[in-house]
Amino acid sequence: MSGASLLSLKEAQIRELELRLAEREQETQDLRTELHKSQNLTEQLELTHTRAIKRSNLLAERSPTVSGLSGNSKEIEAIGNIGKSLTVRGS
């Protein structure tokens, strides 16, 4: 094998390795992009979940409770009927 053909073979190997390196770098960049998207989605889901819990807690604090009523059974029954009618309308 002559020096020129050996040099040509080495240059071809270098080009092949450079192509493989470029492919790997692109794959790495694509994976980083996907990771970033996933992290953003996870953060948004956690934030949404936290807000939903806070809203639920606020609603629970604002809702009248049976223990907060004067004990009048008609009053308790009226509140129950309102809840039922809301459920029927929302269905």
Q: Where are the domains of the chain?
A: 3-90
pLDDT in tens, 56-87: 887 777 776 545 545 556 666 666 666 555 55
**Which residues does 69 contact at the CB level (< 8 Å), separation at least 6?**
75, 76, 79
Neighbouring CB atoms inside 10 A of 75's CB total 13
pLDDT in tens, 29-47: 999 999 999 999 999 999 8
Whether the pTM exceeds 0.85: the reply is no
d(CA 71, CA 77): 11
